[in-house]
C-alpha cells in the first residue's frame, strides 16, 4: 500500500514537471509542431539510410515519443540502441530502428506511420508502439487517443506487421474517470489485436532521481538501461512468437 501511494506521488510530480516543461516550450513560436517535424524527418532519414538487416537479424521499429526517441541522450544511449545491444547479447540478433519523436501525440504519430514504414529497408518483424503519454499530459480525451492507437494498429495489421504495445499510466490528479478511460486503452487494444503489452514503459525508473534527467521527465542513460532490462524479455518473446 505504501509503495502504491509512493507511485501515485511520483506520478503527480512527474506530470506537474512535464506540464511546466511543455508550457514553457509552448511559449516558443511553432514549438508544438516544428521540433517534432524536424525530429521526425531526422528519424525517417535514419530509417531510410539503415542497412538492410542481415538474414539472421530481426528488424524492430521503435515507434513512439520522446521516451523512445532518446531525448537529450547520445547516439548510443537511447532506447533503440540499448535495446538492440541487449537483444544481440541475449542471442536475438536485431536491428532496432529509432522512430521516436519528442512531443509526439498519438494523432501526430498516426499521420507519420505510413511514411515511416515505407522508409524502412524491408517490412519489420515487430513494431513497438509507445504513445499516449503526451496525450495524457495535454488532457486529450482518451476517446481520441484510443481512436488513434486503433488506427495505428489497424494499419500494422493491414500490412501484416506484428506489433507490441508499451503502456503509460495516467496521473491520479486527472481524476478517476480520466484514469480509468486512459489506462484501459492499452490492455483493451492488446486483447482486441492479440498483441503483447508491456504495461508501463517507465517501470522502475519513474521517481528515481538517479535514473532521470534533470527535468525529472525523461530517463538518463542509466534509466534507459533499466527500461531495456524490463522490456527485452518481452520483445524477445514477441519476436519468437
Return the pLDDT at 32.
39
Q: Do the Cβ atoms of 58 and 126 come closer than 8 Å?
A: yes
Q: Is 151 exposed, middle or buried (0-12, 13-18, 19+ CB in 10 A)?
A: middle
pLDDT band at 216 (very low <50, low <70, confident <90, very high): confident
- Mean pLDDT confidence for 218-225: 97
Grid cell listed for 9: 506521488
C-alpha–C-alpha distance, residues 212 and 230, integer Å: 16
- Mean pLDDT confidence for 185-210: 97
Q: What is the 3-state secondary structure (H, E, C) of 118-182?
A: HCCCCCCCEEEEECCHHHHHCCCCHHHHHHHHHHHHHHHHHCCCCEEEECCCCCHHHCHHHHHHH
| pLDDT tens-digit readout, 74-120 | 999 999 999 999 999 999 999 999 999 999 999 999 999 999 999 99
HSE-up of residue 228 (Cα within 13 Å, Cβ side): 26
Sheet architecture: strand order including 94-100: 94-100, 58-64, 126-130, 163-166, 197-198
Average pLDDT score, the chain? 86
Residue 218 among the catalytic residues: yes
- Look at residue 11 and tell me whether its pLDDT is greater than 60: no
| pLDDT tens-digit readout, 135-154 | 999 999 999 999 999 999 99
Return the pLDDT at 9.
55
Return the pLDDT at 52.
72
- Look at residue 193 and tell me whether its pLDDT is greater than 80: yes
Residue 104 among the catalytic residues: no
Return the pLDDT at 6.
56
| pLDDT tens-digit readout, 54-71 | 668 999 999 999 999 999
Return the pLDDT at 241.
82
Q: Do the Cβ atoms of 92 and 104 come closer than 8 Å?
A: no
Residue 32 among the catalytic residues: no
Return the pLDDT at 151.
98
The rounded percent of the chain whose pLDDT value lies above 70 is: 78
- The mean-pLDDT minimum among 21-25, 96-100, 121-125, 205-209 falls in 21-25
Classified as helix, coil or strand, 77 is coil
Of 66, 104, 106, 135, catalytic:
66
Of 47, 104, 106, 218, catalytic:
218
- Look at residue 234 and tell me whether its pLDDT is greater than 50: yes
Of 118, 141, 154, 215, catalytic:
215
Amino acid at each position: 500500500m505504501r509503495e502504491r501511494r509512493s507511485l501515485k506521488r511520483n506520478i503527480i510530480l512527474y506530470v506537474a514537471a512535464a506540464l511546466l516543461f511543455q508550457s514553457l516550450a509552448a511559449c516558443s513560436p511553432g514549438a508544438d509542431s516544428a521540433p517534432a517535424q524536424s525530429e521526425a524527418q531526422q528519424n525517417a532519414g535514419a530509417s531510410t539510410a539503415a542497412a538492410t538487416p542481415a538474414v539472421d537479424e530481426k528488424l524492430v521499429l521503435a515507434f513512439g515519443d520522446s521516451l523512445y526517441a532518446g531525448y537529450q541522450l547520445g547516439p548510443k544511449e537511447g532506447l533503440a540502441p540499448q535495446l538492440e545491444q541487449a537483444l544481440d547479447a541475449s542471442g536475438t540478433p536485431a536491428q532496432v530502428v529509432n522512430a521516436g519523436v519528442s512531443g509526439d501525440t498519438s494523432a501526430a504519430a498516426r499521420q507519420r506511420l505510413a511514411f515511416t514504414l515505407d522508409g524502412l529497408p524491408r517490412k519489420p518483424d515487430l513494431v513497438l508502439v509507445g504513445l499516449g503519454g503526451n496525450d495524457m499530459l495535454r488532457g486529450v480525451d482518451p476517446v481520441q487517443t484510443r481512436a488513434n492507437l486503433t488506427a495505428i494498429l489497424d494499419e500494422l495489421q493491414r500490412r501484416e506487421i506484428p506489433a507490441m504495445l508499451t503502456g503509460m499510466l495516467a496521473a491520479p490528479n486527472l481524476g478517476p474517470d480520466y484514469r480509468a478511460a486512459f489506462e484501459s486503452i492499452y490492455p483493451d487494444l492488446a486483447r482486441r489485436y492479440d498483441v503483447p503489452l508491456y504495461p508501463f514503459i517507465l517501470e522502475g525508473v519513474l521517481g528515481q532521481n538517479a535514473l532521470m534527467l534533470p527535468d525529472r521527465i525523461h530517463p538518463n542513460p542509466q534509466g534507459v538501461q533499466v527500461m531495456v532490462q524490463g522490456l527485452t524479455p518481452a520483445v524477445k518473446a514477441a519476436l519468437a512468437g
